[in-house]
Structure 1
Amino acid sequence: MTKHVFVIGLNDLNAERLKRLRGVEDVKFHPLLSPAQVSETQDFDMPAMLAEAEATLDAHDGSIDAIVGYIDFPVSTMLPILCKKYSTPQASLESLLKCEHKYWSRSVMLEAIPHHIPKFTAFDPFDETALSKIGEADLRFPFFVKPIKSSGSRLGFRIDSPEDFDFATEKLRAEIRSIGEPFDHVLSLAEMPDDIRAVEGHYCMAEQVIGGRQCTVEGYVYNGETVPYGTVDSIRYPQVLSFYYYLYPSQLPPKVQDKMWEITRNIMAHIGYDNAGFNIEYYWDEIQDKIWLLEINTRIAQSHCDLFEMVDGVSHQQVTVDLGLGRKPDLPHREGPQNVAAEFFYRVFFRDATISRAPSRAEIEVAAEQVEGTRISSYVSKGMKLSELPEQDAYSFAVASVWMGATKQSKLLWNYEQVMKRLNYEFTDIVE
């Protein structure tokens, strides 16, 4: 009997990935809302999107066996609302918000894993006395600021001086309500303690600077059992905060990964998160041998899908679909064709610029052919401005991604250089 799985924001790339999963011969995947509505814009009308999704589901002639997604806000926060209404498996809205509402998340971490989190406080970026209040919370320069709800590294800043704070708050005030207001709608549907409800969607976090070797632990919870299944390294460009590439499997010492997995099991059990996938970003401070938990994301990392497929034999979309259908994920281990795999980010470090030349589809195909199994996504076209790209960090623009595998890390890096020699981007009107 055919099972019907609705995927919020389903695009062509992920539709192909889903077809290659295990145990989907009797599954039919349906798009629910378009990528243009949930990932290719920064304008989110949550009530309207939920109403449209419900209308599509109500009009479906057949069973609704799962509602899933693989995208951060707004998709991640829509899932528990829709799944509850249509009685399909998913974490509760409250447990999800204990991960995604950064102040609530830090507050529950303080209860369960206090030695693995930085000092933190929430602040209103529209409050002219915010900087002095941050100081009263025992936070000194340098520190980081970020929205209590964001996606990617958008609107995250390192603050080394009052001038840095002024620059950050100017940016935050201009842009934060694009996520803050739709996030407030989600918060209005949840049961929350009064002190958490007071921290509204446009608020921000200030946190003690933490660092070290960064990685992401991918995992899921099934019927109360937390199962970490892979660690992916996040390698940054030298001297900057922007990511250079994601590497799987992690090169961190096994004992460090084991400790991260233990912390993962502890915090997810404390939160009460269940029947959904997640990933947790960590730092390992090698000098102090200290593990810091950066943040919890209530979804698999889409960027890691091809890495798991190359190394383990199947995309970890397997987790999303299996849990959505109420079954334990059927994940293979080290059954893929490669020993290591990575997603590389080709970035430019401008404040803005116009793309005067971007590689053609044929040029991209020729570049990918340099290394078997390579996939390239270019995010820009001639004539567009870098500032039009959604969900970028505060310091650079990712104009392309390259996914590839190899027998070892050094070969992977060499392969990437060969591919990039074939891709030519040019820019004008550069703002340094």
Structure 2
Amino acid sequence: MKKKNVFVVGYDDFNVSMLESIPEAEDYNFISLLSFHEIRDGDGKPIESLLKKAVSRIESFDGSVDAIIGYWDYPVTLLASILTEKYGLPGVPVESILKCEHKYLSRLEQAKVIPEHIPLFEVFDPFNDNYMSDVKMLPPYWIKPIKSFSSYLAYRINSDLDFIDAREEIRRYIGKVTEPFEDFIHQYDLPEELTKNKGKTCIAESLLSGSMCTLEGYVYNNEVFVYGIIDSVRETDSSSFSRYEYPSKIPQKIQEEMEEITRKIMKHIGYNNNTFNIEFFYNQTSGKITMLEINPRHSQSHAFLFDSVDGVANHKIQLDLALGKKPELPEKFSGKYKKAAKFMTRTFEDGFITKVPSYRELKKINKENKDIIIKLLATEGTRLSQMSYQDSYSYELADIYIPAQDENDLIEKYNKVISEIDFKRAFENDISIV
């Protein structure tokens, strides 16, 4: 049988290795349409330049174009949507993508069908010095750009002074992501409600509390399916994530309620033929379920978790959908392990990285800890505060993927790996300038 050609927007070695682990991988050629580095290097540039590059590569390809997929956030989600429409392949309409990605417009849509499951929210212009006329909400609350990811430029506001400080940071960096996003919105023939709120806009939202989780699902022929819920565990006394852990510990009844909320909103926005994930908060004291945000893609961060516990990476689901097939999954919890997590090793203080674990050190750790994967994010000589797209309160040094048989096994393995990883850091006062 002739192999099908699958073009990947945001191609990177780690996730392609996960794609190549799925049972039918030998039936496909996974081809880099745009690499991850091209996508990230393209930040701050019009989406049109990336689109032209992708179209040029497809047009010059000598073979069939059978599917186009992507598992990263903006601009991958929009690029994949535009390209699948252009080449008549299964995909999500651009309008549905924007109703997820534009945080304010997404809240407006959510308010129409699930008003009891969203926070209070207001939109404001961070470049308006008379901000008190825009934000009526009393602290504490969160502010963030209407387009962001990984908590980039998201700040908790406890006082007017916090607002002023955060606004200055937002003013300085907001254009990096939102300007190309705004350019895109205004170039397409979209409904007025999607174009009247400019990209350099922020949203203020009331605080959410409780346990946080991410529901992973997909829509096939307008029918919504949920295939797993992952717990998002935060650092003590911090909004930064410590790890993603699967399966979830949230009670089954609450998971079912989240699934019902999910069906309502995804049908309402006309989402179809693609994966998605939705972040929720569950407050055990009040019993309240609140939606944080909708992402129009599955989470590549969870691929290893599903592969370890369910026996197949969630990349398979998007691949099936992109080929026009209803996803076929193995029986749940049929993988080699009972538990899996992605740990995000962080530091909360700025500094210069003077040493990272060597290849030899990592190889030794991997040999002693079967099936564990370590991805270094920081490099020697890097100043942590200059790393791209960190959250507003910490710096991520490494991602560590660990499978286990239970919670104790998981934590023991992580602590062992951490004790063997050697990061060294210097502070500004430690460095003499000659």
Partner of 1:379: 377
- Counterpart amino acid of 2:315? Q
TM-superposed CA distance for 1:154, in Å, is: 0.5
Distance 1:409 1:40 in 2: 38
Instruction: Report % sequence identity.
Output: 39
- Counterpart amino acid of 1:127? N
Q: Judge conservation of contact 2:15–2:300 (CA < 8 Å) in 1.
A: no
SS at structure 1 position matched to 2:352: strand
Distance 1:4 1:284 in 2: 41
| Pair 41,358 (structure 1): closer, same or farther in 2 beyond 3 Å | farther
- Counterpart amino acid of 1:112? V
Partner of 2:112: 111
Q: Judge conservation of contact 1:354–1:427 (CA < 8 Å) in 2.
A: yes
Partner of 2:407: 409
SS at structure 2 position matched to 1:393: coil
| Pair 24,411 (structure 1): closer, same or farther in 2 beyond 3 Å | closer
TM-superposed CA distance for 1:6, in Å, is: 0.4
Partner of 1:177: 175
SS at structure 1 position matched to 2:360: helix
TM-superposed CA distance for 1:191, in Å, is: 4.5
Indicate which of 306, 320, 323 corresponds to 2:321: 323
Partner of 1:259: 257
**Correspondence list, 1:67-146, <5 A:** 67-135=68-136, 139-146=137-144
Partner of 1:247: 245
TM-superposed CA distance for 1:128, in Å, is: 1.0
* Structure 1 segments unaligned to the other structure (5+ residues): none
TM-superposed CA distance for 1:430, in Å, is: 5.0
Q: Which digits, 9 at most, give the CA deviation of each residue in 1:316-348, with x for residues without a partner?
A: 000121111111112222121000100001100
Q: Judge conservation of contact 1:38–1:44 (CA < 8 Å) in 2.
A: no
TM-superposed CA distance for 1:315, in Å, is: 0.6
Partner of 2:347: 348
SS at structure 1 position matched to 2:89: coil
Distance 1:202 1:412 in 2: 42
Tell me if 1:30 matches 2:28: no
Indicate which of 312, 318, 322 corresponds to 1:314: 312
TM-superposed CA distance for 1:177, in Å, is: 0.6
SS at structure 1 position matched to 2:224: strand
Distance 1:152 1:107 in 2: 22
Distance 1:261 1:189 in 2: 35
- Counterpart amino acid of 2:35? S
Q: Which digits, 9 at most, give the CA deviation of each residue in 1:170-195, with x for residues without a partner?
A: 11111111111110132124444434
Q: Judge conservation of contact 2:365–2:420 (CA < 8 Å) in 1.
A: yes
SS at structure 2 position matched to 1:372: coil
- Counterpart amino acid of 2:340? A
Distance 1:62 1:216 in 2: 38
Distance 2:412 2:45 in 1: 41
SS at structure 2 position matched to 1:376: strand
SS at structure 2 position matched to 1:421: helix
Indicate which of 160, 163, 173 corresponds to 2:161: 163
Count of aligned positions: 427
Indicate which of 360, 364, 385 corresponds to 1:366: 364
Distance 2:428 2:112 in 1: 47
Partner of 1:46: 47
TM-superposed CA distance for 1:60, in Å, is: 1.0
Q: Which digits, 9 at most, give the CA deviation of each residue in 1:335-390, with x for residues without a partner?
A: 2100010000110001x211011111111222233422100011112111112322
- Counterpart amino acid of 1:291? I
| Pair 41,244 (structure 1): closer, same or farther in 2 beyond 3 Å | farther
TM-superposed CA distance for 1:211, in Å, is: 1.5
Q: Which digits, 9 at most, give the CA deviation of each residue in 1:71-119, with x for residues without a partner?
A: 0011111111111111111110001111111111000100010000011
Tell me if 1:202 matches 2:200: yes
Q: Judge conservation of contact 2:22–2:313 (CA < 8 Å) in 1.
A: yes
Distance 1:97 1:195 in 2: 11
Q: Judge conservation of contact 2:185–2:194 (CA < 8 Å) in 1.
A: no
| Pair 300,339 (structure 1): closer, same or farther in 2 beyond 3 Å | same
Partner of 1:3: 4
Partner of 2:59: 58
TM-score by length of 1: 0.96
Distance 2:220 2:122 in 1: 32
Distance 1:334 1:359 in 2: 33
TM-superposed CA distance for 1:164, in Å, is: 0.6
| Pair 2,189 (structure 1): closer, same or farther in 2 beyond 3 Å | farther
Distance 2:208 2:105 in 1: 19
Partner of 1:337: 336
SS at structure 2 position matched to 1:369: helix
Q: Which digits, 9 at most, give the CA deviation of each residue in 1:272-326, with x for residues without a partner?
A: 1000100000000111100000000011111100000000011100012111111
Q: Judge conservation of contact 2:123–2:134 (CA < 8 Å) in 1.
A: no
Distance 2:398 2:92 in 1: 33
Q: Judge conservation of contact 2:366–2:372 (CA < 8 Å) in 1.
A: yes
Deviates more, 1:36-45 or 1:170-179: 36-45
- Counterpart amino acid of 2:309? V
TM-superposed CA distance for 1:151, in Å, is: 1.3
